[in-house]
Structure 1
Amino acid sequence: MAEAHSAVAFSFAITHDGWDVNFDREVLYLVWESGLRSWKKRLARFRNSVHNGVYPGHLQSLYVLWSLLVAAHFGGFNIPFGLVQKALTILPGTSTLWQIIACLLAALTMWLSVIFLMRYTLKLLLMYKGWMYESRAPGAKISLKTKLWASIVKVLSGWNKPKLYSFQGSLPRLPLPSVEDTMRRYLISVRPLLDDENYKRVERLAKEFEETIAVKLQRYLILKSWWSSNYVSDWWEEYVYLRGRSPLMVNSNFYGTDAILLNNTSKQAARAATFIYLCMRFRRLIDRQELEPIMLQSMVPLCSWQYERLFNTVRVPGIETDKIVHYQDSNHVTVHHKGRYFKVIVYSRGRLLKPCEIQAQIQQILDDDSAPAVGEERLGALTAGERSHWAHIRQTEFNRGHNRTSLHCIERAAFNVCLDDEEYGFDEKDHSSLDKYGRILLHGKGCDRWFDKSFNLCFSTNGFVGFNAEHTWADAPVMGHLWEHVIWSELELGYDENGNTKGTVDTPPPPPIRLQWELDKEDILSAIDVSYNVAQKLLNDVDLRILMYTKYGKGFMKKCRVSPDAYIQLILQLSYYRDAGRFCLTYEASMTRMFREGRTETVRPCTIESSAWVKAMVDPNVSVEERMELFLKASQRHQLGYQDAMSGRGIDRHLFCLYVVSKYLELESPFLQEVFNEPWRLSTSQTPHGQTSLIDLKKHPNCISAGGGFGPVADDGYGVSYIIVGEDKLFFHVSSKRSCPITSSSNFVQQIERSLKDVQDLFVEYMKLKSCQK
């Protein structure tokens, strides 16, 4: 009861002597401070909403136009369309004041008309995607149409500096392809995977589908594409992510690594404090919309919708479906250390704490040698196990008392911090250290991450850092943007000669608060054990290998005048064929953020052209010239497929939505069953790089992240993530399942190295032949 009484901020009672009022000034000040921050944020959001609502115009232009109309009206000049006179007829008087107000109404009418004209003109212009298909190689000619388009876009979007969400209202909707076009593209994509007999069977199923129920399904999608902002994204989030009942760990969450070639500090508390501070500062940029939207070719904006849920977000488990909960504000982060959870308040006295102050808080946690409560050490395993199991125990045992309060504290936190009790990172003398590094970030011990949070920051005892991110709320580029910004901003802050954060602590910051739990009930402990065992089985089955390739990188690919992404995808096709002896359905993620609320589309890298080149590479009788010709054709075909996906002309999201509608209407389709029963045995993704303007690799060539990775999608397949950084470095993150007898991440990495060398030799030999012919 003493704890309960100490938590009361205000109380009063009536006694024989009169009123007896008690209150805690400090707690009331915190309440006042919290409310003040909340109202400041509301005011900032309102101001930003006005700015974004009139973009690409500016409020100052309204004041200028109003002044001009007032001067023209009192100067005896005619106002276009007689707007001032028309306004006076509806106003109660004709005095000077009312005439000025009439001028304001006329100015507002004219100004809004121009604003909406500019806005919808910009929206129509952004629907044009022809610029993507034109070569950007040195000396390549750009069409007059694209030049004219670019000029108008720059004029319309250059009137006013955009905020993060300024372009949201001008972004076009994701176009809905025709069924006929999708069927044609689909059949072309599966041709290299099927023999003649199976291809004819699938072709027959596709034709039957197109001529029967597809017509009805497409009508519903047309209606949805007109009504919703994006006909794919809400269903994609619900059915691909939220309705999934399997564990988030390994199956869904992904990870990112540190700038492994830098050694800023080896002190865990200092590194954690700096990253917490910089992440909170990035959150402030989002809240104030001071973060510049990402622009392709400095002209075409990408949708910024996903940034809204980067912080203060959690995926809450449900029995049948989860939900994403985003809190408007949070003044704390939660910290996990040696099985215990702490609340760390990072805002005090109306300001964000300095890194040195946060370091003092983190150090207090590291110095705390108290033992975890009963069941607390493995509590995080609940978020790593089956979702329905976690939902059930959450509803029954975490709905009251300390459990409810502490759980709410974690879920409402800006993000979660994990102070790990072991060393990991990159060792230049042992590149296999990256494998351990990746595994720890991907799954940890199965109970030391809160996998429901939008992201967890993980810190080793020797100062290395990484993150584990939940996938539902956004895709990897958004997390990558935060990561790049933080890593580069860390260079500006720096550390002192002892590896500590700079600055001095003037007044003690708020101390960390140990979260309290009531987990000693048999039902709760049993539920934690069930999830922990599921997590252990899952993480012990992960076979993860990370390849750091330093023999060449982007520099050599540029000399070859080939798209780096197409180059790597062909490498992966050759590697898989050599590893498995066959081709497989291959997934590559491409963004569709040029459209409003766009997320991803699938590129299918296994094409007729790529398979022809792979067969040529394994056939010793094929000449160098033939191999090179096939390679160039395959890379051009891949680039076209990537451009189509980014332009809203992909295959798989359209088929996915047709499938969802068919399930709602309870219409069975053998063709759709065929499409969605085929596993993606090779799931690939390029880690985004260079999204922030802070990057200067010439000044800091070692400030590069090793990228990130994810678990295998298919039981008998590979998950491959890669990043092309610098001129001479490539990183590949390859995952598979140990329980599968036909996959091995180590073997696949060896095949990647072999393929990289073979393609390099191919280009070198080809250039020698070309020079000899001259």
Structure 2
Amino acid sequence: MAEAHQAVAFQFTVTPEGIDLQLSHNVLKEIYLSGIRAWKKKCNRIKNNFMTGVYPASPSSWLFVVLTVVGTMYTRVDPSMGMIAKLREHLPLRRCMSHHGQNIVSALLFATGLWLALIFVMRQILKTLLSYHGWMFEEHGKQSTTTKIWFTLVKIFSGRKPMLYSFQTSLPRLPVPAVKDTLLRFLESVRPLKNEDDFRRTKALAKDFEINLAPRLQWYLVLKSWWASNYVSDWWEEYVYLQGREPIMVNSNYYAMDFLYVTPTTSQAARAGNLVHALLLYRRRLTREEIQPITLPGFPIPVCSAQWERMFNTTRLPGEETDHLQHLLDSKHIVVYHKGRYFKVWLYQGGRLLNPRELQKQFQYILDDSSSPQLGEKYLAAMTAGNRIPWAKARKAYFCTGKNKNSLDSVEKAAFFVTLDDAKPELFVNNQVKSLDEYAKSLLHGKCYDRWFDKSFTFIVFANGKVGLNAEHSWADAPIIGHLWEYALATDSFQLGYKDDGNCKGDPAPNVLQPQRMQWDIPNECQEIIMNSLKVAQKLADDVDFYAFPFTQFGKGMIKKCRTSPDAFIQIALQLANYRDKGSFCLTYESSMTRLFREGRTETVRSCTAETCNFVTALENKKFSKEECLNLFRIAAKNHQHISRLAMSGCGVDRHLFCLYVVSKYLGVNSPFLQEVKDVMSIGIFSASMWCPSTWE
């Protein structure tokens, strides 16, 4: 109970001699240091908001403008064309200032207004430049003169030393495509999947929709695009992710793996200590906005950084009708799960972040703890793996008071969730497929009760030192977690490192608070709900057929030597494999990013095209020569690149149709065409979770 005594700042007892007051100076010192740390963060946040608010300018540019304006006044040149004199006449305290003081204050006001106007103009110019996407459709390696001039202007107006969110206000808004263009692309995408009669019917429905209902729905979308930062993203997050009532485990959450062939240490506690420290270093860089904005490879084109904001201190909270995301500005602890027990681990000591060796000591304490789980504690997280409504009702009924509320608050307000897993996934050289299957399935769903699937991400450390992540999907897409994970693995291996004995480097402080065992009081009725959720989750996990294997024959380098897009190559190969397996084609979902626009997320690339089908059938027909098949492949690859670029540039099909459907539901009107679109989309490869009826209605 030492940590409990240390957590009390003062004690007092009433005695015959009076009140005996005892102060804990160590705790008071921690309170003081925590306050200092909080104020430093507030000051940094204010500074970062100011720096981002004036970008692409800087405070030094304001000083330059002021000095220039004031300097020209002494040369008897009026750069303001009389505006400084007008300002001088309307100064509120002009009678209290000398004539010279009035001139200086008026010049400062004019210079500041001029500086702000220049910032606005530069931002508008940059936004206009970034709205141009013609460069994307040019042949690789053959840039036009227009594109070269455009690149130069983008570099000039992009400023110097941008912070993470510096480009947010300069990014263009996602445009609303013309209904006619969207319907044309939709019909092209379903043409190879329908017979003549079905296609003729779909085409007639589309024509009727275009003439009668679409103009009304489109008007509302255009209005929203003028008002909102992005006309898709909020509805996509709400209706596709947060309103889904099915389990998010497997259906929505995704995972990230460790290095396949390298494990820096076999010590579970040491690997956890280093990587948790690396993740917290990333969080500190994120809070300070020191992460450089992501740009397209080989191009100075920034992409939206909005999804980074909710990476840490975020939890998806269940609701009976819809979930919502809880994001905190800061969190001073993590929650660790091991063998059915929950522990709260503090991350700071003396106003500083715990070093890797101190974190290792914390995790080793948990691993050595031999206590048994409390009633209902072991399988508690299964509720986050099951259906959302039972979890929402149980949370409201059993976790709103007492021990349960305090402990659940600790989980939901943690920086992230950590699982110390007792499994030992290995990559066996003689059986790589089976071992990778088990490793991937463990990261995807584990035992269905040892990951908190509602957290923004769960960091998993296995008993042999292998690691991985399980990430919740609603707050961001996979590339954001990928950036975090690459940083963490690189920092672990190349910056922090380990001693020769496999332990973390450095020495622990002697007075670091030990992990705090979390307390639960879960009644029998709630335990029944937990076990029912576990049965649902286990049935879902058992239904997952997962096959993963390392492919070493060739990579994207060889594909590029063949002057073919690696993405197009893989997508066409998938169509060929599916056709050989099923004997037919089906609608296929490939994700593409729309982060060239403000608050953009994803768009669908409908990769089962007529051109791809022509190549596959020709290859399987055996009547076409290699040259003819190769020509059809090149046509299919070129077309796939074209539709991918259309999706990236805001001219995709699915998000536009999705928003038209949402508007139709708000207006209470039914569209046979939109209903057919939804029905068709719900049976495609990779797309069922995106357009399933439960998330739309």
Length-normalised TM-score, structure 2 = 0.95
Q: What is residue 29 of structure 1 aligned with on the other side? A: 29
Give the Cα–Cα distance (whole angstroms) in 2 for the partners of residues 547 and 622 of structure 1: 33
Structure 1 451/54 Cα, relative in aligned 2: closer, same or farther at 3 Å? same
> Mapping of 1:661-672 within 5 angstroms?
661-672=663-674
| Fraction of identical pairs, as percent | 50
Question: Which secondary structure does the structure 2 equivalent of 1:241 belong to?
Answer: helix
CA deviation string 1:397-432 (max 9, x = no partner): 000111100100011111001100110142223212
CA deviation string 1:178-201 (max 9, x = no partner): 111111110000001001111001
Give the Cα–Cα distance (whole angstroms) in 1 for the partners of residues 81 and 517 of structure 2: 69
> Mapping of 1:110-509 within 5 angstroms?
110-137=114-141, 140=142, 142-157=143-158, 159-296=159-296, 297-431=298-432, 432-492=434-494, 493-509=496-512
Give the Cα–Cα distance (whole angstroms) in 2 for the partners of residues 627 and 285 of structure 1: 51
Give the Cα–Cα distance (whole angstroms) in 2 for the partners of residues 618 and 42 of structure 1: 64
Give the Cα–Cα distance (whole angstroms) in 2 for the partners of residues 555 and 565 of structure 1: 12
Match of 2:638 among 636, 639, 648: 636
> Mapping of 1:504-653 within 5 angstroms?
504-519=507-522, 521-653=523-655
- State the AA in 2 paired with 1:120: Q
Structure 1 196/115 Cα, relative in aligned 2: closer, same or farther at 3 Å? same
Shift of 1:438: 0.4
Give the Cα–Cα distance (whole angstroms) in 2 for the partners of residues 498 and 51 of structure 1: 45
Question: Which secondary structure does the structure 2 equivalent of 1:546 belong to?
Answer: coil
Give the Cα–Cα distance (whole angstroms) in 2 for the partners of residues 491 and 230 of structure 1: 39
> Mapping of 1:53-132 within 5 angstroms?
53-91=53-91, 92=94, 93-132=97-136
CA deviation string 1:201-245 (max 9, x = no partner): 111111111111111111111111111100000000000011000
Give the Cα–Cα distance (whole angstroms) in 2 for the partners of residues 89 and 19 of structure 1: 67
Give the Cα–Cα distance (whole angstroms) in 2 for the partners of residues 609 and 420 of structure 1: 47
The answer to whether the 8 Å contact 1:584/1:680 transfers is no
Structure 1 557/6 Cα, relative in aligned 2: closer, same or farther at 3 Å? closer
The answer to whether the 8 Å contact 1:683/1:713 transfers is no
Shift of 1:78: 2.5
The answer to whether the 8 Å contact 2:3/2:516 transfers is no
- State the AA in 2 paired with 1:526: E
Shift of 1:610: 0.3
Q: What is residue 695 of structure 2 aligned with on the other side? A: none
Q: What is residue 745 of structure 1 aligned with on the other side? A: none
Question: Which secondary structure does the structure 2 equivalent of 1:430 belong to?
Answer: helix
Shift of 1:28: 3.2
> Mapping of 1:752-767 within 5 angstroms?
none
Give the Cα–Cα distance (whole angstroms) in 1 for the partners of residues 301 and 43 of structure 2: 29
Question: Which secondary structure does the structure 2 equivalent of 1:106 belong to?
Answer: helix
Shift of 1:436: 0.1
Give the Cα–Cα distance (whole angstroms) in 2 for the partners of residues 714 and 119 of structure 1: 37
Shift of 1:145: 1.5
Q: What is residue 734 of structure 1 aligned with on the other side? A: none
- State the AA in 2 paired with 1:620: K
Give the Cα–Cα distance (whole angstroms) in 1 for the partners of residues 539 and 26 of structure 2: 48
Structure 1 712/65 Cα, relative in aligned 2: closer, same or farther at 3 Å? closer
Give the Cα–Cα distance (whole angstroms) in 1 for the partners of residues 690 and 101 of structure 2: 70
Number of residue pairs the alignment of both structures matches: 685
Give the Cα–Cα distance (whole angstroms) in 2 for the partners of residues 586 and 541 of structure 1: 21
Q: Which stretch of structure 1 is more off in the superposition, 675-684 or 182-191? A: 675-684
Question: Which secondary structure does the structure 2 equivalent of 1:524 belong to?
Answer: helix
Shift of 1:714: 10
The answer to whether the 8 Å contact 1:303/1:594 transfers is yes
The answer to whether the 8 Å contact 1:269/1:362 transfers is yes
CA deviation string 1:516-574 (max 9, x = no partner): 1111x111111111111111111111110002111111121011111100000000000
CA deviation string 1:249-278 (max 9, x = no partner): 111100111111212111111111111001
Shift of 1:680: 5.2
Question: Which secondary structure does the structure 1 equivalent of 2:358 belong to?
Answer: helix
The answer to whether the 8 Å contact 1:590/1:646 transfers is yes
- Unpaired runs of 5+ in structure 1? 686-710, 716-774
The answer to whether the 8 Å contact 2:592/2:648 transfers is yes
Question: Which secondary structure does the structure 2 equivalent of 1:618 belong to?
Answer: helix
Question: Which secondary structure does the structure 2 equivalent of 1:660 belong to?
Answer: helix
CA deviation string 1:735-768 (max 9, x = no partner): xxxxxxxxxxxxxxxxxxxxxxxxxxxxxxxxxx
The answer to whether the 8 Å contact 1:681/1:713 transfers is no
- State the AA in 1 paired with 2:373: P
The answer to whether the 8 Å contact 2:682/2:689 transfers is no
Give the Cα–Cα distance (whole angstroms) in 2 for the partners of residues 251 and 684 of structure 1: 10
Match of 2:675 among 673, 676, 681: 673
- Unpaired runs of 5+ in structure 2? 693-697
Structure 1 5/463 Cα, relative in aligned 2: closer, same or farther at 3 Å? closer
Question: Which secondary structure does the structure 2 equivalent of 1:547 belong to?
Answer: coil
Shift of 1:24: 3.5
- State the AA in 2 paired with 1:478: I
- State the AA in 2 paired with 1:241: Y
CA deviation string 1:657-688 (max 9, x = no partner): 01111111111111111111124555459xxx
Q: What is residue 689 of structure 1 aligned with on the other side? A: none
> Mapping of 1:5-24 within 5 angstroms?
9-10=9-10, 21-24=21-24
Give the Cα–Cα distance (whole angstroms) in 1 for the partners of residues 18 and 243 of structure 2: 59
Give the Cα–Cα distance (whole angstroms) in 1 for the partners of residues 223 and 313 of structure 2: 34
Give the Cα–Cα distance (whole angstroms) in 2 for the partners of residues 478 and 489 of structure 1: 17
- State the AA in 2 paired with 1:598: G
Question: Which secondary structure does the structure 1 equivalent of 2:429 belong to?
Answer: coil
- State the AA in 1 paired with 2:121: L
The answer to whether the 8 Å contact 2:6/2:27 transfers is no
The answer to whether the 8 Å contact 2:382/2:448 transfers is yes
Structure 1 481/267 Cα, relative in aligned 2: closer, same or farther at 3 Å? same
